[in-house]
A = this chain, B = another copy of it.
Amino acid sequence: MTVRLDGKPVAEAIDRETRTVLAAERTGAPAPSLVSLHRGVPSPFRMYLRRQARAAAALGIAFREESLAPSDGPTELVARVRSLDRDPSVHGVLLEHPLPPPYDFLRAVDELRPSKDVDGVGTRNLGRLVAQRPVQVPAVARAAFAIAQHYRLPLDGERVVVLGRSETVGLPLALLLAERPPGGNATVTVVHSKTRDLRAALAGAATVFSCVGQPGLLHRGNVPQGTHVVDVGLASVPDPERPGSLRAAGDADPEALEGWAGSLTPVPGGVGPVTVAELMSNVARAWRTLVRGEEAA
């Protein structure tokens, strides 16, 4: 039987820690605050906003959305992010990504000091991750890693595969898994669209993290029997039970892997809720750093 790796208890454990961080510094400190900045047009990022708002409210974190004006170009975006960085009442900033041209996401997010870049996707946060002295790590990478740790999936010294090499998900997760403790200490292979033989690349993997966004990618034909699967992929597919509407799907085919994989995170209900919890945990740590005046260089 394939064990279902539910995200909820993992998210709850992270939230408990976040509450402790927030409670420890409350006296006299400004309320922790998170701002999400986006283009104001429909996107997967905006769907994620509602969950951010709910999670922030539950933890006592002030949450505000800001949207760009339709006439705002790359220069205005950079100026907006810079002004949020300088605003002492704001402790975390999340910027919609990916952003289409002519916006330069990296240029804009790099206006944030590392602690305020609560999704850990700016140049300095990515660099600190490589240097094994992380400040903020992308919430989704932390979430996938937290699930694996919570359920004690094999990582330390084991062969682990990460599917996907994006700079915001696959590569940060691979670094986190490969690094010395508190990293995963795993032997990590990064697999991507140009990998010649997916099945061969997955052979011998104890745990697989899939971050592609391609429903049905993982099935009995390429996942070794008994392998644990953390499904970080997220896509929308037609819902067979409600014609005309969509439902969320991961990279794994859960029916095909049932009774074959050692364990599997569900989509929805797996990595998703843990990502929101890790984001709030990043906000709480940013807030503590800023309140204490401990920002790193």
Contact = CB atoms under 8 A, between A and B. Distances in A.
A190 interface: yes
Given A127-B127, A165-B178, A297-B107, A191 B187 contact: yes
A200 B158 CA distance: 11
Contact of A175 (B123, B131, B171, B200): B171
Contacts of A126: 126-127, 130-131
A132 B190 contact: no
Interface residues of A, number: 42
Nearest to A196: B157
B133 A127 contact: no
A114 to B, nearest CB: 9
Interface of A is mostly: mixed
Nearest to A157: B196
A196 B131 contact: no
Contact of A127 (B123, B165, B187, B200): B123
A106 B133 contact: yes
Interface string A252-270: 0000000000000000000
A11 interface: no
Interface of A: 106-107, 110, 122-133, 156-159, 165, 167, 171-172, 174-175, 178-180, 185, 187-192, 194-196, 200-201, 204, 297
29 contacts: A106-B131, A106-B133, A107-B297, A122-B127, A123-B123, A123-B127, A123-B128, A124-B127, A125-B127, A126-B127, A126-B131, A130-B167, A130-B171, A130-B172, A132-B167, A156-B194, A157-B196, A158-B196, A159-B201, A165-B178, A165-B179, A171-B178, A187-B189, A187-B195, A187-B196, A188-B189, A189-B189, A189-B190, A200-B204
